[in-house]
Amino acid sequence: MPAANMPILVVDDYKTTIKIVHGLLRQLGFTNLDEAENGEEALRKLRTQSYQLVISDWNMEPMTGIELLRSVRADSALRATPFIMITAESKVENVVAAKQAGANNYIVKPFSAEALKQKIVSIFGDF
């Protein structure tokens, strides 16, 4: 069961999306939220701070969410970090690619707090 103060890193190159995801997470009771605007910044933060969940957009520059996910899974210190991929693409091949790269779950924009909660519950159990 995730704790309300569990550190969560939200990664997206659009500040608006970060604000929306932070708002949804706050609705669910989470309070320890951080952000990164691309995969490179996220990787730097992940290597210096401890996060219990990463929620990352797929489409970013210069490092995409899938590249970030692959880097996290290739790093022995980070590989167990739960990872939810966000995208506007609902293509089956994207879902498959995210799962093959090691995503714990996948969510398509736009989504509700309830949909996000279900993805988090699938990783940590009910809360």
Strand 105-108: give its sheet, edge to edge: 33-36, 8-11, 53-57, 83-87, 105-108
- The CATH number of 8-124 is 3.40.50.2300
Dist CA 14 CA 19 (whole Å): 9
- Contact between 65 and 107 (Cβ < 8 Å): no
pTM (global) more than 0.85:
yes
- 127 residues of the chain, pLDDT tens digit each: 578 899 999 999 999 999 999 999 999 999 999 999 999 999 999 999 999 999 999 999 999 999 999 999 999 999 999 999 998 888 889 889 999 999 999 999 999 999 999 999 999 998 8
Rounded CA gap, 60 and 26, in Å?
Answer: 24
Domain parsing of the chain, residue ranges? 8-124
Cβ within 8 Å of residue 81, ≥6 positions away: 46, 51, 52, 53, 54, 72
